[in-house]
Amino acid sequence: MEAGKVSETVLKRSILNQIGKRRPEVLVGPAIGEDCSIIAAGGGKAFVLSTDPITGTVQDIGTLAIHVTANDLASNGADIIGMMLTILLPVGFKEESLRTMMQDIEAVCRQLDIEIIGGHTEVTRAVSQPVITVTGIGSIKEGEVIKTAGAVPGQEIVMTKWAGLEGTAIIAREKKTELLAKYPASFIVGAERLLEHISVVPEARIARAVGVTSMHDVTEGGIFGALWEIGAASGAGLEVNLEKIRLKQETVEICEFFDINPYMLISSGCMLIVTDKANLLVERLESEGIEAAVIGRITKGNDRIIKNGDERRFLEPPKADELYKVV
């Protein structure tokens, strides 16, 4: 198998088909497109849980680790409580670097008002670079859960920020020397600074207040992968205008430089939101300084279509992220 998330076919055949449901407390379990599990806590309340590793980069690994899991929890509408960390370090890793990593993690936790509630740290020959896996927990009322699977035909799709946001920043940091052969240092800095926009917690809060039925943060597989997952999870089709999907110029340039597709590049910090109130939501987001646009709509059936002028193409299940072609 290739690097990155396993394909939808393998996920269904070798993972999901091996799992049985046996606990009534589990309200949402593993499924295509669902990044969180939800467990009833009694009294109309529920706990939302999500887990994610950071494997595609070393720089800013602590910052990315917390934001990625926080984004998953926020996409389900949860109020985030805390995170548990599993940190695997290669032999010879310096304690000073571990301390810096934890300081970065704690800075994000302070920013988001969440707490590190436990975990495990180990030096092992099984890894050649640091790997952090974060398991997050949040709380929500049972009746307020927002799932990826909540999209309904006739609703519109709102996208926040820019496709390829996270991947652009990672590539700029990991491949700085190569990029400096063509681009000025200021360009690289601009690309790196896209990580400052990686949290979707603010837009999730605004979307909850406006009223939405589905939210999905755009991670591995990029914007095309996330769109497919919304359709697959909801049992619906969709029609999206490619010209409405926003890209930063840094993303366009870096993707051309490495000959990769920006629409299939990891994009944490970008969120897809499905709602009956798309124009109002865009207005509220932009009033808070968050770029947003209506990029398409949910349709009946299973056709997931990307329009580009007169051209129409069908989306396919997400493949390995474009990031792994570069780093």
**Residue 55: count of CB within 10 angstroms of its CB:** 16
Expressed in angstroms, the distance from the first to the final Cα of the chain is 17
Of the pLDDT bands very low, low, confident and very high (cuts 50, 70, 90), residue 22 is confident
In this prediction, what percent of the chain has a pLDDT beyond 70?
Answer: 100
Mean pLDDT (whole number) for 98-109: 95
What does pTM read for this prediction?
A: 0.90
The residue to which tokens 């493949």 are assigned: 319
Q: What is the pLDDT of residue 325?
A: 92
Tell me how far apart the alpha carbons of residues 163 and 222 are, in angstroms, rounded to a whole number: 7
Eight-state DSSP code of residue 213: S
Tell me how far apart the alpha carbons of residues 103 and 252 are, in angstroms, rounded to a whole number: 33
**Quick one: tokens of 322?**
């474009």
Q: pLDDT tens-digit profile of 246-289?
A: 999 999 999 999 999 999 999 999 999 999 999 999 999 999 99
For the chain, list the domains and their CATH numbers.
35-144 (3.30.1330.10), 148-325 (3.90.650.10)
**Residue 37: count of CB within 10 angstroms of its CB:** 17
Q: What is the pLDDT of residue 59?
A: 79
56 pLDDT more than 70:
no
289 dihedral zone (left: phi>0; alpha: psi -120 to 50; beta): left
Q: pLDDT tens-digit profile of 61-77?
A: 999 999 999 999 999 99
CA angle, corner 75, sides to 60 and 50, nearest 5?
65
Nearest to 88 by CA among 121, 55, 51: 121
Mean pLDDT (whole number) for 230-259: 96
Of the pLDDT bands very low, low, confident and very high (cuts 50, 70, 90), residue 32 is confident
Of the pLDDT bands very low, low, confident and very high (cuts 50, 70, 90), residue 203 is very high
Residues 289/199, Cβ–Cβ less than 8 Å: no
Who's near 242: CB < 8 A, 6+ residues apart? 263, 306, 307, 308
